[in-house]
Chains A and B, each alone.
Chain A
Amino acid sequence: MTTTAASRVVQVSSEMDIVRVRQAAREAAVEAGFSLVEQTKLVTAASELARNTLVHGGGGQVSTELTVQQGRTVIRMVFTDSGPGIADVDQALADGFSTRGGMGLGLGGAKRLVDHFAIETGPDRGTVVTISSAARRGRRR
């Protein structure tokens, strides 16, 4: 059974909004009983993906949702933009690949930092990245 406990949407159109996305991720992680390392991983992944939404996607929105699945609290974050999209996802996920002179670690790194990672994109189709993570040691409260 899945119940949605809380959901929050942040519009991303400036770098200040990246800070807001990080705050939303942090609050959700605390709420879900994540350990400090788990919180840090989720917030870092969210920061990378929100920056991609802003810089590569030309802005968009990020929703953060807490759901309870079989007694486990899962955080799901969806990063949506209607920018140019990604033609070659495997290439974009590879460490070191960047079209903007970045380190090219954001996408692949974010994928390693979360439990589940999915990306829907294509040329001129925009990009939707969905991530989810749950606390390792179950609920603490």
Chain B
Amino acid sequence: MHQVGEVPVLDLGGVLLVSIQVELLDDTVLALQQDLTERVAETGARGVIIDISSVDIVDSFLARALRDIAAATEVLAARTVLVGMRPAVAITLVELGLTLPGMTTALSVERGLELLDTRLDENYPTRQG
């Protein structure tokens, strides 16, 4: 396993799984963003799953970092799926004005993995071409 600050990154063979368990400091968010993007490039990962089921608030700073991670991995031909957002967080984000457009979301890690495989299969021909 690999750590960024206190955030563990697990390689599930082609898919990187990140579980955010701690109260994130801004520096940790930036380190995670940089590290994940680099690891996608190094490992050629097809996808990244970010599990935020332990995260009790998402403010604009964290939302922006998540969006940037997704955008960067997308450029590297990997897909980022955000999983496990708490209902209270979702309600708050909408009111804040943050709808995370373009981000793929799923209710659980399992669903995220399913989604990733499905999507990747669908996109396979375009990715090769």
The residues of A with any CB-CB pair to B shorter than 8 Å are 15-16, 18-19, 22, 26, 36-37, 39-41, 43-44, 47-48, 51, 95, 102-103, 105-106, 108-110, 112-113
Contacts A37-B88, A44-B92, A48-B60 given; does A19 touch B97 at CB 8 Å: no
Contacts A40-B57, A47-B59, A51-B61 given; does A15 touch B96 at CB 8 Å: no
Contact check, A18 vs B26: say whether CB atoms are below 8 A apart. Answer: yes
Q: CA separation between A105 and B23, bound complex, in Å?
A: 21
Q: CA separation between A130 and B125, bound complex, in Å?
A: 54
CB within 8 Å: A-B pair count: 69
Q: List B contacts of A19 (CB < 8 A).
A: 23, 25
Interface of A is mostly: helix
Contact check, A109 vs B88: say whether CB atoms are below 8 A apart. Answer: no
> Which listed residue, B61, B63, B88, B96, touches A112 by the CB 8 Å rule?
B96
The residues of B with any CB-CB pair to A shorter than 8 Å are 23, 25-27, 56-61, 63-64, 86-89, 91-92, 95-98
The closest CB in chain A to the CB of B91 belongs to A37
Contact check, B95 vs A41: say whether CB atoms are below 8 A apart. Answer: yes
Contact check, B25 vs A40: say whether CB atoms are below 8 A apart. Answer: no
A-B residue pairs in contact (CB < 8 Å), sample of 11:
A22-B23, A26-B56, A36-B88, A37-B91, A37-B92, A40-B57, A44-B57, A44-B92, A47-B59, A51-B61, A109-B95
